[in-house]
Structure 1
């Protein structure tokens, strides 16, 4: 697709901070969001593409001599403390590209924070790249050409009073040419997305149906990562029959290099559901040049921006602050740091990274990318040339290649991009060679041509460094993005920019708004706040006790919630506790109303959180209610109550490496199927562990406790033989204990009737297999001995591997 721009006429809580983004070594690594701590120097850009053919990257670290004296005067006016040679700021932002500038604006206006932006170059905007014709002052945008017109785009341009126009397809003459062979193909046309509505709709359905967790352009990947996202994109094209739209996808995703060989994840992150919907709603651009919005922001930010400077080192202090040391010898002491430059080790040299951050950031690679504006090429004016490779599959060019030569309507100039060549001189040589060959082919075809290009055809030329960061598929599969997102907010350092979501400025701005700024600004003060703010993706909860009831609504799908911990494999080191005191005796109308966590979401996973109903003995007091016909998963959690601790009403649930404590019917429900594995059941008093309410023989409901341990809870007043494995809340109760250690607390009868007047035992299915311990033997009532262990697939379904975290089974 050729964009044409008509010319202008004339989820963090401090002592328990929440972040909708991530767990690092302090969290079970998620399906989706996050950041490390650190700061440092290096050269690079914080990219964020605006349109199909450009990237908006904020600069990384640069060198310079400008001091902070001017910044200090602003600090004084902003009541920012200056002492001992330090400038104190609420927030230091590293990088003044798309996300850096946007974040500064939002933090200042929405959060009333004192902010410094450290920018390596002499301007803001990063990869926006606008060239102005010296003769006419008309703009040529050769980086970002247009923006998805989402809420963030509208707000940003409106705030700085920058008018925008709708982008349209180019009205100028367009040739299709094989740049490598030097052949212009007469009468050939390139597919227009506007003529491919049906196949694009099919592709949108593929993405939305199979990979809804990518709908916002984030890396909210499930565990395990679907194989389809790891396969080469060519295989994905064949599997989902989307060959009709490959040319359109290439238009937007050419930054991946060899399109059909690239991992599917990186292709669809450049053109997936979010981008198709953005295309449908229209793109916009600033007719005076996209640079103008950043110039306006720069004027507004004033001395808050430190230009031509770099971070040479950082020290993250024990009090939560960070000393940011600049190349000119100045130091800023920041309460929080937001790093928007690409997080490579070179860019972050000098930042006090820890081992986990280093291990992640050293895995990055990227496809080299150069951009420029050509002049005096001898090619026909106001003409586009689209490159194809007639010798390759799908006619797609292979790296290194010149992507296109395009006009934006300014006579005498064409924009150009080179993909896959790291050497600048060689990349320019590819352009010169393509121009020369096209010129000769046009002359041969009598379609134009001249004496050839001038010696110097570049009006401007530069590298878009570190565009499209990627890691090997093995790293993706092993949880790279879960680990990456797990760094967000660690040591009061936050992250955004092109590594963290789809490399389009509007999508990165949305990521920043939804996943980063709420925690920098302290908006999410409760877990419920974070749940209300995101219906999919990830929420990360920092150390603390949260006293509230939380309800995850049924509209929530594919959400992961992570609690801070030093050991994700168990509940024993949990430092996040969700607590509430409620029971029917206190006025709750039913069991659901007593729940500390009422989880009605689909495909919700919860890691390393203790959930407690502190009411105690005497009435129903649910800690967790699982109420959705689809799957839910709980890993390394601790559930604490006395009566009715866990209510599994319907659907399928797994509890792994967890602790569940109670005394009376503390695992109960109706139609839920429950797999409890490698866990501990703590008995807090005499009573029954389970109370299955299965309503009919045809119900799939089954409670299975496997490879676990039953033990006396700390401080419990309970003696030998006072505990039963279960009693039937429903006449068709079905429960099994297998390969589980049972202490002498278990009565030799094993199971118990509901009560003497209403036994409800005629249809029960109670079973045991290969249990151990002093409570594993006896003359069991109502029990059928199992001849073999039940398998996880029998209980959770044959597709359990698609949603159960393999690390816990």
Structure 2
């Protein structure tokens, strides 16, 4: 999404500030044993790595607390998983990433701070649901999701009685780790007679991959007490039906201290009082000299080329596996625009479909455009996901379907999505060691791997981290 033009004064200030940061073109610095040419040097209190939900929140709040910041973002926009498509025909907006937030003080405060209005989300756009086996394209006659209440009640009781600490992150996990948290969720379901809620959890906690094989810990983290509370209180979304507005307003606040389209080349944290980050962007190579780093990207080793990782970081980050999640807006599907098509399988336990595949195809509120959610237990090539989305839609045998060749209006990969480690690693204290990284080598960690794929809860987590970052 392109940001609206800022006023002339801000542009002039930004140009003057950038001009003061320019270094001699022949300047070189030595980082991690390599001599590197530098076109500009930026000195800040804090460098935020990643401009998704956690990184943007950290940058705004640190600025409010009097710290100078710079944000490094690989994409051409802030917002991460929050993405909005603007239909060129109607001008209508469709959120095809993050769709809502919890009704929490941290959410209300952040939106008020950035002057973005919220309303309670309405589900009226989704219409009625019809159930199809997407592997065959045929409807599943007589299918009913059933009443999830008995299982949901028992599930919520387990969370409230034994695992409420998970709402704050992984830091409260006791040791030895409760054995139920390590069970494959399918076994936990049988142990506590939760069968009636499985379909609901599968549909809400999209992106977990193989739900029944996941350690129960990760299902609790994805489908926690906050989610259940949201069913009762309602979720929030933007009044303008454009969730990316939040990050556009944040960008306006943070510019020119945001480096978009930027790739980290080298990171050196050997100094006790400073972290150096070399970044490549359209303006050249920029050296960031910062007192502290906020790490807000997925901690997968393939994301960290050029980082001076410690042995602990190498060991911990190297254990992460991930599922994958993909979203798209499809046009010319031939499908009705007032029906949600849900993927079910008559041949599997609980009739949840096998992945990779589409979870559901739902209305967007704009005729001719449908929202598609796709999941996989591992990262797939984008071309493979796109082809499967289009072929699945083309093969659906829906009464009244009109002829047409489906196409993607927009597509996004949210991989890597759910970062997880093995039950044996959890039991051995993985998350105790992961959280012990906080503050080491001038670096503070936030993001989904340290809590959950939920912007609202990540803002709470990041807020709790701020005193440690600002303490000098």
Supply the distance in 2 between the matched residues of 1:161 and 1:318 (Cα, whole angstroms): 39
> Contact 1:257/1:419 (CA < 8 Å) preserved in 2?
yes
> Contact 2:149/2:196 (CA < 8 Å) preserved in 1?
no
Q: CA deviation at 1:155?
A: 1.0
Q: CA deviation at 1:476?
A: 1.1
Question: CA deviation digits over 1:671-697, x for unaligned, max 9?
Answer: xxxxxxxxxxxxxxxxxxxxxxxxxxx
Supply the distance in 2 between the matched residues of 1:168 and 1:511 (Cα, whole angstroms): 27
Q: 2:53 aligned to 98, 106, 126, which one?
A: 98
Supply the distance in 1 between the matched residues of 2:467 and 2:18 (Cα, whole angstroms): 25
Q: Does 1:483 align with 2:437?
A: no
| Count of aligned pairs between the two proteins | 436
Question: CA deviation digits over 1:11-46, x for unaligned, max 9?
Answer: xxxxxxxxxxxxxxxxxxxxxxxxxxxxxxxxxxxx
Q: 2:348 aligned to 381, 388, 392, which one?
A: 392
Secondary structure of 1:297's match? helix
Q: 1:121 aligned to 75, 79, 83, which one?
A: 75
2:17 alignment partner in structure 1 = 73
Q: CA deviation at 1:156?
A: 1.3
With normalisation by structure 1, the TM-score equals 0.52
Question: CA deviation digits over 1:348-397, x for unaligned, max 9?
Answer: 11111111110111111111222111010111123210111111100011
Supply the distance in 1 between the matched residues of 2:56 and 2:231 (Cα, whole angstroms): 25
Supply the distance in 1 between the matched residues of 2:174 and 2:158 (Cα, whole angstroms): 17
Q: Does 1:140 align with 2:89?
A: no
Q: 1:407 aligned to 336, 359, 363, which one?
A: 363
1:306 alignment partner in structure 2 = 259
Secondary structure of 2:98's match? coil
> Contact 1:150/1:278 (CA < 8 Å) preserved in 2?
no
Q: CA deviation at 1:71?
A: 7.8
Q: CA deviation at 1:462?
A: 2.0
Secondary structure of 1:333's match? strand
Please say which structure displays the higher CA radius of gyration. Answer: 1
Q: Does 1:151 align with 2:105?
A: yes
Structure-2 change in CA distance of 1:221 and 1:75 (3 Å): farther
Secondary structure of 1:137's match? coil
> Contact 2:49/2:71 (CA < 8 Å) preserved in 1?
yes
1:743 alignment partner in structure 2 = none
Q: Does 1:432 align with 2:390?
A: yes
Q: 2:164 aligned to 212, 227, 232, which one?
A: 212
Q: Does 1:297 align with 2:297?
A: no
Supply the distance in 1 between the matched residues of 2:469 and 2:15 (Cα, whole angstroms): 22
Supply the distance in 2 between the matched residues of 1:471 and 1:177 (Cα, whole angstroms): 33
1:250 alignment partner in structure 2 = 202
> Contact 1:208/1:215 (CA < 8 Å) preserved in 2?
no
Q: CA deviation at 1:274?
A: 2.6
Secondary structure of 1:154's match? helix
Q: Any gaps of 5 or more consecutive residues in structure 2? A: 1-12, 22-28, 30-39
1:474 alignment partner in structure 2 = 424
2:25 alignment partner in structure 1 = none
1:423 alignment partner in structure 2 = 381
Supply the distance in 2 between the matched residues of 1:436 and 1:219 (Cα, whole angstroms): 46
Q: Does 1:179 align with 2:134?
A: yes
Supply the distance in 1 between the matched residues of 2:175 and 2:469 (Cα, whole angstroms): 28
> Contact 2:446/2:462 (CA < 8 Å) preserved in 1?
yes
Q: Any gaps of 5 or more consecutive residues in structure 1? A: 1-68, 78-83, 524-809
Secondary structure of 1:359's match? helix
Structure-2 change in CA distance of 1:374 and 1:112 (3 Å): same
1:521 alignment partner in structure 2 = 470
Q: 1:234 aligned to 183, 186, 190, which one?
A: 186
Question: CA deviation digits over 1:624-667, x for unaligned, max 9?
Answer: xxxxxxxxxxxxxxxxxxxxxxxxxxxxxxxxxxxxxxxxxxxx
Supply the distance in 1 between the matched residues of 2:231 and 2:437 (Cα, whole angstroms): 32
> Contact 1:382/1:410 (CA < 8 Å) preserved in 2?
no
Secondary structure of 1:351's match? coil
Question: CA deviation digits over 1:52-78, x for unaligned, max 9?
Answer: xxxxxxxxxxxxxxxxx958717979x
> Contact 2:298/2:416 (CA < 8 Å) preserved in 1?
yes
Supply the distance in 2 between the matched residues of 1:277 and 1:486 (Cα, whole angstroms): 31
1:501 alignment partner in structure 2 = 451
2:320 alignment partner in structure 1 = 364
> Contact 1:71/1:304 (CA < 8 Å) preserved in 2?
no
> Contact 2:14/2:255 (CA < 8 Å) preserved in 1?
no
With normalisation by structure 2, the TM-score equals 0.88
2:307 alignment partner in structure 1 = 351
Secondary structure of 1:410's match? coil
2:408 alignment partner in structure 1 = 458
Supply the distance in 2 between the matched residues of 1:346 and 1:306 (Cα, whole angstroms): 21
Q: Does 1:268 align with 2:212?
A: no
Cα RMSD (Å) of the superposition? 2.1
Q: CA deviation at 1:479?
A: 1.1
> Contact 2:330/2:408 (CA < 8 Å) preserved in 1?
yes
Q: Does 1:492 align with 2:445?
A: no
Supply the distance in 2 between the matched residues of 1:402 and 1:117 (Cα, whole angstroms): 34
Question: CA deviation digits over 1:596-623, x for unaligned, max 9?
Answer: xxxxxxxxxxxxxxxxxxxxxxxxxxxx
Supply the distance in 1 between the matched residues of 2:15 and 2:143 (Cα, whole angstroms): 57
> Contact 2:169/2:450 (CA < 8 Å) preserved in 1?
no
Supply the distance in 1 between the matched residues of 2:19 and 2:56 (Cα, whole angstroms): 19
Structure-2 change in CA distance of 1:227 and 1:76 (3 Å): same
